[in-house]
Structures are given as C-alpha cells and as structure tokens.
Amino acid sequence: MRRKTLPLALAAATVATTAVALTVIPDVSVATPDTATTPDTVRWGPCSEKADSPRKAASPRTADSPGLECSTLKVPLDYRDPDGRQIEIAISRLASEKPSQRRGILLTNPGGPGITGLGYPAALAASKLPQDVLDSYDVIGFDPRGVGRSTPVTCDLTPEQRKRGNLPPYAHTAADVAREAKNARAVAKQCATSKTAWMHPHTTTANTARDMDRIRAALGEPKLSYLGGSYGSYLGAVYTTLFPGRSDRIVLDSNLGPGGYDVTATRSLARGMEDRFPDFAAFAAAHPEYGLGTTPEQVTAKFFELAKRLEAKPVRGIDATLFRGLTFDRLYSDASMPLVAEMWQALDKDRPLPPDTPPSMDDMENFMSARFAVICGDNRWPETVREYQRNVAVDRLAYPMLGGSSAGIGPCAFWPDKRVEPPVRIGDRGPSNVLMVQNERDPGTPLAGAQKLRRAFGKRATMVTADQGGHGVYPFGANTCANDAVTAFLTTGQRPARDLACAAQPSE
C-alpha cells in the first residue's frame, strides 16, 4: 500500500522554469485517440509473477493478486506520428463484482515518477478502499511508459550510481556543488547514449496522460474517473487539462504544484522535511527510552548532532546524506516513526541497525532511469552550476535539514535539449470535477505546492485538507473526515460545497 511503497520510492530519490504553455483545445489536443489509429481491443488474462518485476521494492502488491487481471496495449511512441513506432503499456483490472452498480472505470496511479502501478488496484483493495467504490468501478492500474512491464527505459546506471540515488549529496559549500556536477553530467550522458535513448524525449507526463486516454478508449469508456497520489496528482492534473471532456470524477491526493516535478518541487522537499519534522520530534520526546531527548528541541538538536558526526565518520555504512534521506523518507508515515527513532539510537550508540536500513538499491535502475526521463523531460531546469550554488546557499539556510541536498545539481542540468513540447499549463478551463485532498504536514508534496495547484485550477477544484502529517491521505490515512469526502465524491459525485479543513483525528 502507498504508505509503505511511496516512501520507499522517495528513499531512492533522497538517498540516493517557467516555459511557454501548451495550448489546449478541449479533447482535440495533439494526439487524442480519435485522431490516431483505433486502439486494440483489450484481452484480459491472468497476471504473471513478472507483472511487478523488476522492482518489487516499489510495487505495492504482487500483480497476480486474486481477482486482478492483466493485459497490454500498444500506443504511439510519438503522438505526433500516431501510426509510427509503437510501444507497449501494461495494464491491470480489478473488476467490479456488482455490474448493476458499476459506473465506469477508475484509473489509478501510486506516484513516482518511475513507480509501477500494475499491482496498485489490489493494494488499494487490501488497504480498505471502501466496498462502495470497488462496486462502482473497475479499478484500473498500469505501468506508465518507460516503467516496469511497459516498454522500459534505462540509463545503464551502475551499482554505485544507483546507490547514490536521485538527489545529490548534501552540499555545504559551492565547491561541493561543483564537484557533484561531474557526477550529474555523467548520468545525463549515459541516459542520452543508452539503448533506450530513443524513448527518452517521449517519456513525459503529457504522453503518459495520452496513454491514459488510449486505455480509456480501448476499454470502450466515454470517460474515466481517476485516483492518483503524489506525482500521480500531477499526472491526473495534466490528463484532465488535456482531456477535460473525457474526465469524470478526478481525485488528486498529496499534490504537487502546477509545474509538476520541476526544480521548485524538488527544492520544496526541504520545506516538507521542516513541516513534518516537529511531528517526529514530539514523538521521540514522548518516548525517552530512545535516548534522543525529552523535549522536541533536544530531538531537533540530536538530528544536527548526528548529521555532523556522520559527516565526519559514517557509522555502519550510513553517512550524513543517507541519514538525512532515510529520516526524511520514513517520515512519510506515522507508523514508521519508531523505525526512525531506532535508526537514530543505533547510529548514536554504534549498534546494529534496524532491518532494511538502508534499503537495497539493486533493483532500482529502471525506477531511477524513468524518474530522470520524466522530470528532466517535462521541464527545463537551471543549466549553470552557479544557479545551483545559489539555490543551495539559500535553501541550506532556510531549510538546513535537507536544503543542501534537494537544491543541489542533478542530471537535469545537463539533459539533452530534445524536448518535443513545452509543459502543459494547468488552468481553470473545463468542468468542475476535481477533488484535491492533502495532509497539512506532508513531507513529499508540501501543502504550499498543493495550494498553488488549487489556485491554478480555480473553479474546477475543491480541496480538502487534513490536520495530520505524512504522505498520502486516501484510503490509507486515519482522518475519516477527509476519507469520507473522497468516498462520497467517487460514489455520488458530491463534493464539499467549498474547500474543507478537516480537524485532527482524535487519538484512539
């Protein structure tokens, strides 16, 4: 389920500009299915064990879960040439068992980019997605283009590069940024010369949204409903912008800003860490048995003390960058707070680390490569080392826990200039059928970005915020006010009359 899988994906990211907007004509954007070749008819069959390979670490459930069916669909590599080279998209279905109550399809995406979604319908069902929702829809999962069982991309990342992750080491000085630029340039070159380099310019959020519309058409549905979290919020926003007339009920959970995973969103991870950390500081202070401090202030001081010590001398293979990244990653869920405290305690006393600390990166090559392809291909990034040095200097002061890393330089600075189209501009054109749901203290997609997306949608959206921390609201969170609002929208079409703030759920 997402509260376990999305943090793991971000672990690989952490430890490890404004452009001319795309002009959108409702339902007649470049490459709608109606203007392309007719999609194949979907033939459902059993899901093999390969369905969530090769990245089981980031797959919520094996895709051969009971009731889940799988298939593949061919789509154009380049929607400007719909009859040209084709690639495959792997899709899955958890069919409604109540045909008389079935409304249509609910397409889902667990986030990323780079995460397989083939097993996500089964994960949602196992995570108590309400029965009324399961009865109302065939829940559809898919591996986005470039990922998993869909035609995959690669950057031929070495084991050492995979271990470094998708965000750079914490930079304390301008010289640190300049040194890291060499690694970033090397990865960008590998991506540009890999055996799947032909796919990279077309592995974008806009094309994945077009693939979604191909799935809709192939299933014979006039519209699709959607449930997407984290990066999936941006994917859903792009879909309903490109295809407003084909969007039914759109739920966006844990929202990126309207620019998607651009440089602003990546830098915002540091703000997310600072927003969320007080929850952990209060937890650790309330559990003095961990020995991390008896007040939130003492726990915060312990963070910086450990980071400084690990900078000078790693403990059991954990250096300061990995320490920061693992702490950030595991703050995605309240349930992981004991693991964070145990890790800190082990590092402080040089004792054995908790299991899966750090997690293995052996199977993360495709995830990392696909992530690079999407985030570097969707937007233009600063292209000079000096700009990243300035960003690091600003964010290291404003958000010292993570700012020296999240503002640092990565492969996008050296990405080949082969973008086939500008980013999609999210706006208020289209039906009022978007429900946004957001935790107030979300480390991965901070509230500030969600508020920007809400403003961009204007009359199209209503937003529900929950007074809780962590990444992911529905159906994994504990806030019944927020969860009930989403269920009501998916099953009845009714949204709150205006933006809704849900109070903190009382502790049981």
| Residues taking part in catalysis | 230, 442, 471
Q: Is 284 exposed, middle or buried (0-12, 13-18, 19+ CB in 10 A)?
A: buried
- Token pair 């990565």 is at which residue? 410
DSSP code for 250:
E
Query: What pairs with residue 138 in β-bridges?
Result: 105
Comparing CA positions, the residue from 111, 23, 17 lying closest to residue 472 is: 111
Which tokens sit at 77? 């590599």
91 bridge partner residues: 71, 142
Q: Is 242 within 8 Å of 483 (Cβ atoms)?
A: no
Chain centroid to CA 260: how far?
10
**CB atoms closer than 10 angstroms to residue 311:** 14
Contact 78, 37 (CB under 8 A): no
What's the length of the chain? 508
Q: Residue 9 carries which side chain, given as an amino acid letter?
A: A
Whether residue 287 contacts residue 329, with contact meaning beta carbons closer than 8 Å, is answered with no
Q: At what angle are helices 231-242 and 205-218 packed, to 10 degrees?
A: 70
d(CA 30, CA 396): 41
Q: Which segments within 16-149 are labelled E, that is strand?
A: 45-46, 68-76, 86-94, 104-109, 137-142
- Amino acid symbol at 364: M
146, 153 Cβ separation under 8 angstroms: yes
Beta bridge partners of 224: 247
Rounded CA-CA distance 269/445 in Å is 7
For every residue of 68-93, DSSP letters joined together read EEEEEEEEESSTTSTTS-EEEEEEEE
Helix, strand or coil, per DSSP, at residue 418: coil
3-state secondary structure of 242: helix
Q: Are 376 and 412 in contact (CB under 8 A)?
A: yes
Distance, in Å, from the CA atom of 300 to the CA atom of 281, rounded to the nearest integer, reads 6
- The answer to whether 151 and 87 are in contact (CB under 8 A) is yes
For residue 330, give every residue at least 6 positions away whose Cβ sits within 8 Å of its Cβ, in sequence order, or none: 7, 336, 337, 339, 340, 343
> Residues 324, 330: contact at Cβ < 8 Å?
no
Residue 463: strand, helix, or coil: strand
d(CA 260, CA 230): 10
